[in-house]
Structure 1
Amino acid sequence: MLKAFYNPVRSKVSAALVIVLLGVTSVSHIANARPAPESFADLAEKLLPSVVNISTSQMVAERQGPDFQFPPGSPFEDLFRDFMDRNGQGGQGGQAPQKRRATALGSGFIISADGYIVTNNHVIDGADEISVRLHDGETLDAELIGRDPKTDVALLKVEPKDDLPFVKWGDSDASRIGDWAMAIGNPFGLGGTVTAGIISARNRDINQGPYDDFIQTDASINRGNSGGPLFNLDGDVIGINSAIYSPSGGSVGIGFAIPSAIAQGVVDQLKEYGRTRRGWLGVHIQTVTDDIADSVGLDSATGAMVAGVSDDSPAKKAGIKQGDVILKFDGKDVESMRRLPRIVAETKIGKDVDVVIWRDGKKQTVQVELGELEEEVIAASASPSEGDEAPAIAEASIAELGIKVANVDDALRQRYNLAEGTEGVIVTDVSGDSYAAEKGVRPGDIIIEASHSSVTTVEDVTKAVKAAVDDDKRTILMLIETSAGPRYFGLTLSVAE
């Protein structure tokens, strides 16, 4: 169970929050191995003053008495509310909510002498008041400068009387699995606590967002450590401790930190703009599997496949199409689908970027002027093509794929609850032991393309499959509109001997 590990105090609001984090990076082998230190004492003494305890509070409603509920529009709803209001108990059933102040504790670290402090977004999320206790015991009110839920990073500012001790960012990309790491934080509200361990793994994706790229460490991390720094042996911050994997809520030696390679850029933007500004390409992407690589002629399963292109997006304007595989972006290799979102997000908005794509069996380069990602931007889904001529074949069984397909008609629209006007070729049956079933093709899916050619009739699909078989291909690439949106499938062709 993944949990955020700030420490809730006298609060029912957040016993164990699931964190929201993002990112992608690649392992670097620049750093040299270092011997185990005889002691961490000198390093801890130097760094402890730069780590702070963060206390937040907020007013929460706590209903008293019974909680009666009526369906919306019920004839009893207004009658009961009037009765409760006359008796001073307001609300839909039960007594009026009682306000109380809930508090929580977390950690943070100072990054400048004038009082900028980094922590996790989930530590301060929803807080009415934020206070910071320094290592010497002084407590200061903190102002929220900005926060980024997508990476779970927040930036605070205090106004100190004198310059504060601070730490600097390190290069998380230079850290290797097995390197020593030291964590400092405020576990369970106990105050400055030092733990040490190693970097256990890199590039961890814990399914929290498109930018997942956590450092995993076995340095003991517990509730209240959220927002605290993870240091290397040079005393530089290489991560922000943010999550633990634990069935009990306590440390079991699996902690996760946001790498400085992601956090530093976010903090810089929060300081300058009060928010994050990320690059936007405007494509839906999916993983290039071995079957898809074989279908499009790639030597290996690499890159990010474009499953859809948003209208009026930079990608659309640059001529990027469905079925393209993005291999390089701004000179950086796209080893996998997970790599691309971070590269795009970190690229300067408005920059003209060279994008190397794989199309029609060869590499091509297109130039994209990168846009800015807005929260309200919603990527568009591709629509199946439409045909003008009446089909000669209404349905067919394609034994090579283990599926049955048909041209969409009124009866099929009703059966599969398709939108009015939907046309094209629909999958009506999938053999349970077929490769298509294993890959996730389901009845009701709409076939949009086969071998990079649009299909509008059953004949189009059968001809494409026959052509692939005649060319001795092992797989055929199909773009299929599923319930989750358009996806490419590399489907194995089963040919009878």
Structure 2
Amino acid sequence: MKKIFSLVLVSALGGALTLGAYKLFLEPENKIEITADSNPSFLPTSNISNVFNSAAEAPDLTIAAENAVNAVVHVKNVTISTGQMTFQDLLLGRSPQRAQMGTGSGVIINSDGYIITNNHVINNSDKLTITLNNNKTYDAEIVGTDPKTDIALLKIDADEDLPYVTFADSDQARIGEWVLAVGNPFNLTSTVTAGIISAKARDLSGNSTQSFIQTDAAVNPGNSGGALVNTNGELIGINTAISSQTGSYIGYSFAVPSNIARRVIEDIMEYGYVQNGILGITGGALNSAAADELGVNDTEGIYVASVVEDSGADLAGILEGDIIKEIDRIKVSKFSDLTGHIGAKRVDDIVELKISRDGDLKTLKVKLTRNETLNLPLVGMVKNAKKEDLKSLNASNGVKIIELNKEYESYWKKNGVDEGAIITSINDVKINSVDDAQQAIKNKSTYEPLRIELINSKGEKERYNFR
């Protein structure tokens, strides 16, 4: 019996060894190869069902898109520029000219053919043409422009009532709200892209002069001047800029809020130019570092560093050191919150400010006034002089220095020039107002010296040349 068991065991062991040797040495090798499918299938990188449980929950953008597409136009700007002169041109006494064409978008805002767009879309144009969504083309005229806000108003004479979009209150637009950008990127007419509002009161300049609506709706060159609309198809912004290192869309776009755009075109239509109302303060937004430096407890709001004499803020009783917490019941956390809201207002409009003064909250009503101040290079802040200012120094005209440039303050004071001095002439141009001063600076060539004539606080006439 033991012999039989041993025989079975030896036979099994021999079979296992034989099979293993075959597998290891004799059986052909099967290699695994990874090949590319000539017709690969692509899967989406996001699953919409994770965001919306049903189609009924997804925002319906079709009506808004249809209305906006019909009210957004294609703008073509033809500019005649002087080309490089050749030897033949010189002999024949001719000046070579070359036509250059730029394109953008515009938004019809009433049935009579008024169109809003960006100033940079139509700047330096020799001819403007507008193409509607029905492919009809019209010549356009410029009604007015405002380079500061980059808004322009055009007019076409159509043979029919035109479709248009209505303005929404951009102050009521909310972060996270769905929006559509409608325009003509890369000459692809009637293009609609969707996204959400990513931020409000965004300043790209770094000096708190802008207040854009930021979205993640795709905007590219050619979209400028087009519409940013809400889900009702109402205009909440004019697409103006993108943030990009390549020149094309990489994630964020920016629009002038509709409240600002509306105020600009209303001023253009009523007065022919834009009237900018101001509070009359200087200052900056608070954070932990600024609060420590200023010795205040608040880390949110606008700290008032100074108040402009005779401005609305001055007349309303706002003081240096006040902290603005709200404007018209809208929370203020950065300076562009303030400037954006005021940018939508007109001269003589009244705004309600909630301020913190020594820890106590106060509410003040401020009437916005015309901007009568100017930051004059090398000099500092100047304002329109009152009759008594001129009379006290026996001056017949001029603007009053109200704050010296910090960098050159010691120089001016060493020469007897202080706050209260009257600047009477800039580069031999008689100055009666800050508008005159601004125009004189604008007209000065890059290499031309700055010549200033003034009457100092002692009543002495002086002349300064800066190169």
CA deviation string 1:214-255 (max 9, x = no partner): 233332221111111122221112221111122222222322
2:81 to 27, 40, 60: 60
- Distance in 2 between residues matched to 1:417 and 1:202, nearest whole Å: 37
| Aligned-residue CA RMSD (Å) | 3.7
Going from structure 1 to structure 2, the CA distance change for 1:309 and 1:107 (only over 3 Å counts) comes to same
- Distance in 2 between residues matched to 1:320 and 1:285, nearest whole Å: 12
1:311-322 maps to which residues of 2 (within 5 A)?
Answer: 311-316=309-314, 320-322=318-320
Aligned to 2:210: 212
Q: Secondary structure at the match of 1:184?
A: strand
1:419 to 411, 421, 442: 411
CA deviation string 1:368-407 (max 9, x = no partner): 5431125857698589xxxxxxxxxxxxxxxxxxxxxxxx
1:35 to 2:57 alignment: yes
- Distance in 1 between residues matched to 2:211 and 2:253, nearest whole Å: 13
**Partners of 1:151 and 1:211 within 8 A in 2:** no
Going from structure 1 to structure 2, the CA distance change for 1:347 and 1:264 (only over 3 Å counts) comes to closer
Q: Which amino acid aligns with 1:202?
A: K
- Distance in 2 between residues matched to 1:371 and 1:301, nearest whole Å: 29
- Distance in 1 between residues matched to 2:244 and 2:347, nearest whole Å: 39
Aligned to 2:435: none
Identify which of structures 1 and 2 has the higher relative contact order when contacts are C-alpha pairs closer than 8 Å and 6+ apart: 1
Aligned to 2:136: 138
Q: Secondary structure at the match of 1:419?
A: helix
Aligned to 1:47: 68
Aligned to 2:121: 123
2:187 to 186, 189, 204: 189
- Distance in 1 between residues matched to 2:257 and 2:409, nearest whole Å: 45
Going from structure 1 to structure 2, the CA distance change for 1:418 and 1:184 (only over 3 Å counts) comes to same
Q: Which amino acid aligns with 1:107?
A: S
- Give the stretch that moved more between structures: 189-198 or 296-305: 296-305
Aligned to 1:434: none
- Distance in 2 between residues matched to 1:341 and 1:183, nearest whole Å: 24
Aligned to 2:148: 150
Going from structure 1 to structure 2, the CA distance change for 1:281 and 1:194 (only over 3 Å counts) comes to closer
- Distance in 2 between residues matched to 1:241 and 1:280, nearest whole Å: 25
- Distance in 2 between residues matched to 1:343 and 1:323, nearest whole Å: 21
Aligned to 2:162: 164
Aligned to 1:270: 268
CA deviation string 1:119-157 (max 9, x = no partner): 111101121221111111111111211222222111111
CA deviation string 1:398-447 (max 9, x = no partner): xxxxxxxxxxxxxxxxxx99415449xxxxxxxxxxxxxxxxxxxxxxxx
**Partners of 1:147 and 1:274 within 8 A in 2:** no
Which protein is richer in helix relative to its size?
Answer: 2
**Partners of 1:120 and 1:154 within 8 A in 2:** yes
Aligned to 1:12: none
- Displacement of 1:314 after TM fit? 4.0
- Distance in 2 between residues matched to 1:200 and 1:251, nearest whole Å: 15
Q: Which amino acid aligns with 1:44?
A: A
Going from structure 1 to structure 2, the CA distance change for 1:280 and 1:47 (only over 3 Å counts) comes to closer
- Displacement of 1:161 after TM fit? 1.0
Aligned to 1:176: 174
Aligned to 1:481: none
1:202 to 181, 200, 203: 200
Aligned to 1:475: none
**Partners of 2:203 and 2:336 within 8 A in 1:** no
- Distance in 2 between residues matched to 1:366 and 1:233, nearest whole Å: 36
Aligned to 1:110: 108
- Distance in 1 between residues matched to 2:77 and 2:151, nearest whole Å: 16
- Displacement of 1:52 after TM fit? 0.6
- Displacement of 1:271 after TM fit? 2.4
Q: Which amino acid aligns with 1:36?
A: A
Aligned to 1:100: 98
- Distance in 2 between residues matched to 1:89 and 1:330, nearest whole Å: 66
CA deviation string 1:176-230 (max 9, x = no partner): 3333322221111232222223333333322266343323333222111111112
Structure 2: runs of 5+ lacking an equivalent: 1-55, 383-407, 416-467
- Distance in 2 between residues matched to 1:126 and 1:196, nearest whole Å: 32
- Displacement of 1:325 after TM fit? 3.2
Q: Secondary structure at the match of 2:182?
A: strand
Going from structure 1 to structure 2, the CA distance change for 1:297 and 1:51 (only over 3 Å counts) comes to same
1:249 to 234, 247, 250: 247
Q: Compute the TM-score of the two structures, normalised by the length of structure 1.
A: 0.58
Q: Secondary structure at the match of 1:210?
A: coil
- Displacement of 1:164 after TM fit? 0.6
Identity of aligned residues (%): 40
1:224-239 maps to which residues of 2 (within 5 A)?
Answer: 224-239=222-237
Q: Which amino acid aligns with 2:79?
A: Q
Count of residue pairs the alignment pairs up: 335
Going from structure 1 to structure 2, the CA distance change for 1:145 and 1:374 (only over 3 Å counts) comes to farther
